Amino acid sequence: MKVLVIGGGAREHALCRSLSLDPDVTALHCAPGNAGIAEVAELHPVDALDGAAVADLAQRLEADLVVVGPEAPLVAGVADAVRERGVPVFGPSAQAAVLEGSKAFAKDVMAAAGVPTARSYLCTTPAEIDAALDAFGAPYVVKDDGLAAGKGVVVTEDVETARAHALACVGAPPAPSRQRGSVVIEEFLDGPEVSLFAVTDGETVVPLQPAQDFKRAHDADEGPNTGGMGAYSPLPWADPKLVDEVLQSVLQPTVDELRRRGTPFSGLLYAGLAITSRGVRVIEFNARFGDPETQVVLARLRTPLSGLLHAAATGTLAALPPLRWSDDAAVTVVVASHNYPGTPRTGDPIGGLTEVAEQDAPGAYVLHAGTKKDAATGEVVSAGGRVLSVTATGTDLAAARERAYRALGRLTLDGSHHRTDIAARAAGES
Ligand code: AMP
Ligand code: GLY
């Protein structure tokens, strides 16, 4: 199978790594990719947001499968453009990707499908905002109703901070995927968060193993929200019935509702869940693999990835045998640039990559996010906020954690920061 992956983060590096180890994959391409992906796939300098250019590339490469990684190309209709050319594509249509692109749409789908989520109000005026903030009380949860790369959500004890964010959301220029100037204000959900991914062809839903992400920038969940600073899987503390329960109460009803509306969702349905004292609640849906959770979920998947994604892209998931998983645990730790998640500094050289790759750190490997090869020096340098995702497996979380941090210790990146407590609690270490 010839596969083309769209995107260039650590999630896409994880996808490419699994595909490069898959015996059914005969050729692997990526656009635009990064310095790490270049080691396992042929890179193509094509704009991931340009549907026609991606479809042209897929046809020229005679790709049997296109896998779209990030949300922005999905919302921009890149999967539709590829599908129109008759090339199987893993990723939802622009219409179905609105499940991620608009919080208000997601709430509407959940209400219709009877999916448990936080109670919420969609507000467009200052009076509605004040009424909603009053109704729920602190802590306040205020969400921009559009794609905001995880930065549109404010959770705060301070009503003035909540009000200011809500007013900024309704005053901001409207993105194409959202209603004019709207903000979602919702009840605070207490309890641990779980990311559960499911592969679906629009009808059959195949859940993957759950993972936990660490959203705050600093140890002990301090500091600003980020795209994710680390992840682990499995979740030793979770109820073994969790995946089945979420399949029945969340994933299947959501997929069924989108099909009923005439906008079937095929690709990766990501449920961000809160395990509250009153049961499981959906915090958000995403229309693509999560980053960095993908790094740990794929590290444990034994079923060849190409067959799974191709079955989703061609509507044949019902015939796929049950997924196989490793008993190993996996941990990934993100190395972020100086000043991430603010305006990150880029262009710093990254040291130690060869040492880790040459198995100086057994069981661990480095997945690249924002990296590129400096044209003049040939050095790998930072090129984004999240730079590397150091991933390791082990017989349990403590072993995986130890390996990941040992490998991370070999790497150098001036001014970088990372969390030291990824999976520590779950491993029984704090
Ligand atoms: P979202 O973009 O909706 O995933 O929100 C980003 C983060 O904000 C989530 O991962 C949670 O940590 C937090 N968050 C969002 N909604 C809620 C909520 N209703 N209650 C508590 N925390 C929330
Ligand atoms: N790690 C969170 C996300 O991918 O949205």
**Superfamily of domain 120-186 in the CATH hierarchy:** ATP-grasp fold, A domain (3.30.1490.20)
Protein residue closest via CA to atom 5 of ligand 2: 290
Task: Give the pLDDT score at 357.
Answer: 85
Whether the predicted pLDDT of 124 surpasses 70: yes
CA distance 5 to 68: 6
Task: Give the pLDDT score at 187.
Answer: 95
Protein residue closest via CA to atom 13 of ligand 1: 155
**Assigned fold of 191-319:** D-amino Acid Aminotransferase; Chain A, domain 1 (3.30.470)
The full DSSP string for 77-104 is THHHHHHHTT--EES--HHHHHHHH-HH
Domain 2-91 has CATH 3.40.50.150: no
CA distance 28 to 83: 19
Protein residue closest via CA to atom 19 of ligand 1: 188
Nearest Cα to 288, choosing from 311, 263, 265, 315?
265
Domain 329-413 has CATH 3.40.190.10: no
Protein residue closest via CA to atom 3 of ligand 2: 290
| Chain-centroid distance, C-alpha 97 | 14
Task: Give the pLDDT score at 172.
Answer: 59
Task: Give the pLDDT score at 147.
Answer: 59
> How do the domains of the chain map onto residue ranges?
2-91, 120-186, 191-319, 329-413
Please measure the distance between the N-terminal and C-terminal CA atoms of the chain and give it in whole angstroms: 45
Tell me the backbone φ, ψ of residue 296, rounded to 5 degrees: -85, -30
Whether the predicted pLDDT of 150 surpasses 80: no
Ligand 1 atom closest to Cα of residue 272: 4
Average pLDDT, the chain: 94
Note the pLDDT tens digit of each residue in 34-80: 999 999 999 999 999 999 999 999 999 999 999 999 999 999 999 99
Task: Give the pLDDT score at 221.
Answer: 95
Nearest Cα to 290, choosing from 230, 203, 366?
230
CA distance 272 to 120: 16
Asked if residue 315 has its Cβ within 6 Å of ligand 1, the reply is no
Break the chain down into helix, strand, coil percent, rounded to 5: 35, 25, 40
CA distance 173 to 357: 46
Ligand 1 atom closest to Cα of residue 118: 19
CA distance 315 to 186: 36
Task: Give the pLDDT score at 171.
Answer: 82
More confident of the two residues 28 and 361? 28
Q: What is the average per-residue pLDDT within 14-34? A: 98
Asked if residue 154 has its Cβ within 6 Å of ligand 1, the reply is no
Give the distance (Å) from ligand 2 centre to CA of residue 270: 9
Give the distance (Å) from ligand 1 centre to CA of residue 213: 12
Q: Give residues with Cβ within 8 angstroms of 67, minimum separation 6.
A: 3, 4, 5, 6, 15, 19, 89, 90, 91, 309
Mutate to test the pocket of ligand 2, among 282, 291, 295, 419 (most ligand atoms within 8 A of CB): 291
Task: Give the pLDDT score at 27.
Answer: 98
